[in-house]
Amino acid sequence: MRPPLILLSLLLPFSLLPRAHGRGELRAFVVAHSHMDVGWVYTVQESMHAYAANVYTSVVEELMKGKQRKFIAVEQEFFRLWWDAVATDMHKQQVHQLLQEGRLEFVIGGQVMHDEAVTLIDDQILQLTEGHGFLYETFGIRPQFSWHVDPFGASATTPTVFALAGFNAHLISRIDYDLKADMQKNKKLQFVWQGSSSLSERQEIFTHVMDQYSYCTPSQIPFSNRSGFYWNGIATFPDPPKDGVYPNMSLPVTDTNIHLYAQTMVANIKERAAWFRTSDVLWPWGCDKQFFNASVQYSNMDLLLDYINKHSDEFGVTVEYATVGDYFQAVYSRNLTWEIRDSQDFLPYSTEPFQAWTGFYTSRSTLKGIARRASSLLYAGESFFTQYVWKHPASSICKCGALRQLQSLRWAVSEVQHHDGITGTESPKVKDMYMNNLMYGMFNVKKLIASIILDMNNAKKNRDVYSSVYVKDSGIPGATDVDQYVVVYNPLAWNITTFVTVSVSHLAMSVYDELGHSVPAQVQRSAESHSTYDLHILVEISGLSYRKYNVKPLNGKQSAFIGRSVKYKRKDITRADQQSQQLLPVTNNCYQILFDQTTNIMHSITERETNRTVQLTQEFLEYHVNGDVMKGPISDNYLFAPNASAVPVSKAVGLEVVSGNLMTEIRQYFYSNVTSQDYIYAVYTRMYTVPEGYDGKLLCHRIEQEYSVGPLELNREAVLRTSTSLNTGQLLYTDSNGYQIQKRPFKAYVNNTVARNYYPMVQTAYIEDDTTRLMLLAERAHGVSSQGNGQVEVMLHRRLWNNLQWDLNYNLTLNDSSVVRPVIWLILGTKAVTSVLYRISGLALEHRPVVMFGVLSDKPKLRGQLQQNSIHNSHVTVPPNLHLQTLSIPGWRYSSNHAEQVRSIRMGKQKESDADFSRVLLRIRHLYEVGEDPVLSQPVTVNLKSLLKGLGSVMAVEERSLTGTWNVNALKRWKWKTAQYPSKGFSNSTETSENCIVTVHPKEIRTFFVYFQGQ
């Protein structure tokens, strides 16, 4: 609550009061902030020690000393670490007071300021929900403005996410330099953004693009060679200086220079005002790692603001400390009519002609892969635990301990979404920090899943059993005297039929289900290791359920099919004789792939249903890049600046085909020449043949590829280029954060055309002609481009070094010598068929089943007995156009009645209570756009009671905002005037569910709190 102005006047010197603004007088909003990277050059712990803890301590203390002072706080990871480990009781009391007075404002409110190009929407929502849950539980506040000042380009998914979270305005900064200059000149930096074409005006949001000065205070001052307005100087690492004297502290404001300081500030305010439509000017005060000594900051700025306001007639400007909310409130109250921007994003991002920030779409591919695997494991762990709590009320597992295990992974997955995290733009030690936190969280969640399985199977709790159920990512120990179990959990709310692969030490194996029936499986020598075998088991599992498979090594009549290998001679592709072309067919029910035996390279794919054949070849190429700044533009963690076109890397290809009754694996090895010992690249392509009686639609229609890339030579960027006979006109489509599709026409530029036509593929990319589409689905982010008609190329790996001093100082040179093993699934078919297949297939790749191994002490049970203690008798299944995006127990202790929540915080009742296990968080997402498919684009009505009946009897359902902190009926977002909607007011987002029946419209994400009948 902001106190009324009359009260303020008693506390403020007259000159600091907001004044009546005459015509032509500019009003500058001075927004004090510190941009605090959650990892980048320094780890979170190093940052806390060197400056971050001091920011909050000194800012809170200084805000208390001047009633006019304000500050915005952004990244919750740092704030929460300070709150839990550093803040005194007095500090905490002061924070509550400052929030009530509106002088401290939380903007965004997520754990981090997430990257927008390479993150998945689920993970953006997770990190936002984590931060919002803490803020609402602790302070009863709900952020309403964004401050996305540093992500490298802006996605159209982010404004939709923020609108769904209840935000009133969105702020971005980094967009293409030439586009920003144009928008600035034409006063077009502010608009109403309809980030989703299907949700359109219902989830639009007013968006402000920062001008060319971005989020840092312009530091040039004509009367000093030191920078201006940074009176506390620059943070030092590893320790703050003992004497409190930091490098590059600005000249203090004195009687002799105050007029010069004022002139400099006013000139900058006026320059910026010319780029916007209103006389309200946003003036960010701060930059990276600022306000660690807030005392010297505010004491100087107080004098300066006071002076300008005393001379406002002369300057034509008034200045005031402000929050982002103050600024947007002023612009909103102007009641102007704003232009609408459609769902086009601001990617890619360039800062000048040879600086295309498209390299980070691929940088640190291993980290990108682990971050997504961790996210997927968390998704599985959340629903597994939620079901366990509600189906097994008398469980022996400590729920609070289990929640802490999940929270460790929530925290780690949230943290790595930071715009210098999953982007791969951090130093090696920070990359290690992210990896360690992710691995620790994954270990905890695997341990939790294992202990739930043991508890539900009443296994003995001795340590041998426990440790052997813990997941090894590969395989089953070689023991032959005990029954080995493979437990497979399907985290999706659909029935799935797929293969899981386990590593075994025998070729002769049999697999049985819980009832002792034989299960189709195929075993073959592993491509990776000569001493082990891959056992591929065909699993059929209902939604959110698990199955147990017994794996026995034996030579019986029911043993698994054996994959037989045929090796073909290595071929010199530079001397291939096109005249004597011999084609080798590999076929399943959906496709026939032909390989050219003169080169061992793929030749074409025929889609058997339509009998359409597409010529299709794949080759690895490398872009050579420059590492010497004296010789021209460089590539680094962020930038991609190729010297020339990509160069083919291999002169010879080896081929091995392993075929069995269930699957065929084509192994291609790419060598630098015919006599090389070791291959430099490999592709493993799998096609499946599903036996009668199984639903093989998805399996049959995908061609799975796994690549082995690296170690690369220095200053090489590796791509896989797929060239087809499709007449695509170089038009590419890529997904935006796994939520929607963006159209990417090829654009010619004067400079750097190759790099500026790279786009992020988070989950999906495709090319098409009039009849046929080729889709690529990925399990981690990559850069992707179409550099020629009918072509799509995916950047798989980068290894770089350069001598730019800035990169060297911060160890940001990306000398990544790892081998990466990304997976991409290909789907070829008509537009109608592929648009149905790719949504479900993309999620099936993202959320592959969780596989656990172990020795369970029980023998196969009778069906009745089995049903009682397994998660798989009460599955949860949604229609094929919906996705169960979240099913979890957040553990928040806040009341979902806002008045009650605020009251209990004011009375200090929050602290004592334990985590709340009664509230279940449910999100359901519609996967289709309006008009995309005649059937699947229709709204879907779901009865939540019957959907969740397997968990228990639903007692109550409340519909909430995206992050859970608003009741949707109470959420009234600002409605900004547009030509389309001339009246201003509030927008109410959804029709509320009556008696647990909900209709979900295209692209909606609906969020609910669900309460079940008492345990």
What Cα–Cα distance (Å) separates residue 724 from each residue in 190, 383, 700, 744? 42, 41, 21, 18
What Cα–Cα distance (Å) separates residue 211 from each residue in 197, 344, 419, 519? 27, 20, 20, 63
Rounded CA separation 213/688 (Å): 55
Rounded CA separation 343/330 (Å): 26
Residue 187, by phi and psi: left (phi above 0), alpha (psi -120 to 50) or beta? Answer: left
Report yes or no: 849 and 489 within 8 Å, Cβ to Cβ. Answer: yes
Beta bridge partners of 794: 720, 784
Q: What is the DSSP letter of 366?
A: H
Report yes or no: 615 and 604 within 8 Å, Cβ to Cβ. Answer: yes
CB atoms closer than 10 angstroms to residue 748: 7
Q: Which residue has the tokens 């210098």?
A: 420
Taking every pair of C-alpha atoms in the chain, what is the biggest distance, in angstroms? Answer: 97
Phi and psi at 896, nearest 5°, equal -85, 0
Beta bridge partners of 565: 658
Q: Sign (positive/negative) of CA torsion 935, 694, 380, 377?
A: negative
Phi and psi at 745, nearest 5°, equal -65, 145
Active site residue 150: yes
Rounded CA separation 689/856 (Å): 31
Report yes or no: 857 and 881 within 8 Å, Cβ to Cβ. Answer: no
Among the listed residues 115, 150, 534, 596, the single catalytic one is 150
Residue 713, by phi and psi: left (phi above 0), alpha (psi -120 to 50) or beta? Answer: beta
Closest of 931, 858, 923, 834 to residue 885, by C-alpha: 923
Closest of 376, 397, 502 to residue 780, by C-alpha: 376
Rounded CA separation 501/510 (Å): 14
Antiparallel, parallel or unpaired: β 850-854 and 484-490: antiparallel
Closest of 923, 938, 939, 887 to residue 1006, by C-alpha: 923
Q: What is the DSSP letter of 3?
A: P
Q: Write the CB contacts of 763 (distance below 8 Å, at least 6 apart in sequence).
A: 120, 735, 738, 777, 778, 842, 845, 846
CA 816 to chain centre: 22
Catalytic machinery residues: 150
